[in-house]
Structure 1
């Protein structure tokens, strides 16, 4: 389930080529604060995935409802 969530989130990412050969910028809309830069597109994607993973861990730890990506929901429920 976690892999599906990561995959769908990364599929929704938007990338831009920065000016003056500064590399690439990427972000995931609806996931506040999930953005990254990199000298290459692949470096940007790698960094973006790391930021996404941290965003998920922090969100779960704080009890946030995480955004749905293409029908995939990541939800942790308390167990007695």
Structure 2
């Protein structure tokens, strides 16, 4: 049975939708259109990618804590109430 980490999957799918632009001053900006307000700026593309991932992770955690409705991305819905699953005994 494959182990699935829903938060990690959500971050990866969201990051795959990121749009990056090089600004006139040579710096970079990145955003994830489906995640309103998730935007980052940095001197290099790599730094911008790292900053965007960090911003997204903070945005998700804050949204969950405050009970905000997060967008469903690639059929991953973080808005569902958690449910308990029975574990097989060892």
Shift of 1:78: 5.9
The alignment of Structure 1 onto Structure 2 pairs a total of residues equal to: 78
Map of 1:2 onto structure 2:
7
Bigger RCO (CA 8 Å, 6+ sep) = 1
TM-score (norm: length of structure 1):
0.87
1:61 to 2:58 alignment = no
Map of 1:46 onto structure 2:
50
**Deviation digits for residues 16-66 of structure 1 (CA, Å, limit 9, x no counterpart):** 011132x11000102121000111111001000111011101110111121
Q: Answer with 1 or 2: which has the greater Rg.
A: 2
Aligned Cα RMSD in Å?
1.5
Runs of 4+ in structure 1 deviating by more than 4 angstroms, as ranges, are: none
For structure 1, list consecutive stretches of 5 or more residues without a partner in the other structure. none
For structure 2, list consecutive stretches of 5 or more residues without a partner in the other structure. 1-5, 84-90
Counterpart-to-counterpart distance in 2, 1:49 and 1:3 = 11
Going from structure 1 to structure 2, the CA distance change for 1:9 and 1:56 (only over 3 Å counts) comes to same
Find the partner of 2:20 among 8, 15, 19: 15
